[in-house]
Structure 1
Amino acid sequence: MHAGPQVDHLAAEQAAAALLTALGLDLTEEGLADTPRRMSRALIDLTSGPDFDLTTFPNDEGYDELVLVQDIPLQSLCEHHILPFVGVAHIGYLPGDRILGLSKFARMVELHARRPQTQERLTQRVADHLQTALRPDGVGVVIEAEHLCMTLRGARAPGARTTTSALFGRLRDDPRSRAEFLALTRGTA
């Protein structure tokens, strides 16, 4: 997979303190005294996650119908404002020679969500990973998320959700398979 980022905890804490001080906050106040440490640890947690082994199994039974895991919780950071976006992922695939251990869907979402990015890129990365690892007959990923950069600032549109999708193989090219996947993922959040 990929190696996690090298994190300098002390430098991150010092940078958080400098930012908070530049914003005019008094870090000698009791409630703010430990905030740089907590803030840096929270951001480190939101931008790094554990690697995992993608457990697959032979598709000995020749299963060829849609496998869909819905409402996988996700949280990531908008790369433009470093504010969270939070939502769910729906991932489906049409098995080829191998099938995926079901818990790996959630781990795959978490792995790819742990970095600043756009929702579009996150959707594509999850789909690409599944396509590359399994070589299935089709892959579909739909992500629905609320972006705090849109709800807390700028447009200030609380409750607005963004939906993105990435489709490969029969889930992209076969109208009936595509319609089945998209119908099953609509209105689930």
Structure 2
Amino acid sequence: MDAVVKNFPASGQTDSAPTQEQAEEAVRVLLRWVGENPEREGLLDTPKRVAAAYRELFSGYSLSAEEVLGRTFEEVSGYGDAVLVRDIPFFSHCEHHMLPISGKAHVAYLPNGRVLGLSKIARVVDIFGRRLQTQENLTAQIAAAIEKTLRPRGVAVMIEAEHMCMAMRGVQKQGSTTLTTTFTGEYGDNAAEQARFLTLVRNR
């Protein structure tokens, strides 16, 4: 992601956040707990690799959506219709089991004199995706960040995702997808705008 990355610990964490060494030791504990030997050759570097992977997978805690969305453009030649970026792929992790979520986000807004660079929308999806999430919360956070920064006439967000906590464990329903939507402003007040958004998302 092309965004400003702050050093860990992220905002909201305390100065006593675990060190890299403590994170690696936690991985060793889990390896022993599942019945493995963290000292065998194939696992010697696993704690370091897992810690590095988690730093990347959860880098959203060190990124600011407000900073990413901070620059907007006024030269739109009077354009005021919907701006839609659809099929934005993302990966996240559920906060209940820390298992992967994968899917696509569709994000639209109705400009109010200013527009965003299109890549900014995809970056905001990544920022919130790279945190422990519920899909409902992720959908609402994306809409709220755009609403707060851009002040558009309305925002619409739809997320379609598969949750590995349903596919790999529990009910083990592979291929099941979950769909969530959030509408604000004119999208929230106008059923016709909602219908048009859904049509544009589905119209391939």
**Displacement of 1:186:** 3.2
Equivalent of 1:108, from 118, 124, 127?
124
| DSSP 3-state at the match of 1:62 | coil
* TM value normalised by structure 1: 0.92
Answer whether contact 2:93 2:131 (CA < 8 A) is retained.
yes
Equivalent of 1:23, from 31, 34, 41?
34
- Counterpart position of 2:87: 71
- Counterpart position of 1:133: 149
Go from structure 1 to structure 2 and tell me whether the alpha carbon gap of 1:2 and 1:43 turns closer, same or farther (over 3 Å shift). Answer: closer
Equivalent of 2:46, from 35, 40, 48?
35
Deviations 1:95-132 (A, max 9, x none): 00210000101111111111111010011000000011
Q: Distance in 2 between matches of 1:40 and 1:98?
A: 40
Tell me how many residue pairs correspond in the alignment: 188
| DSSP 3-state at the match of 1:31 | helix
Equivalent of 2:136, from 95, 104, 120?
120
Answer whether contact 1:4 1:48 (CA < 8 A) is retained.
no
Aligned-pair identity (%): 45
Gaps of 5+ in 2: 10-16
Gaps of 5+ in 1: none
Q: Distance in 2 between matches of 1:104 and 1:148?
A: 27
Go from structure 1 to structure 2 and tell me whether the alpha carbon gap of 1:59 and 1:134 turns closer, same or farther (over 3 Å shift). Answer: farther
Q: Distance in 2 between matches of 1:183 and 1:82?
A: 33
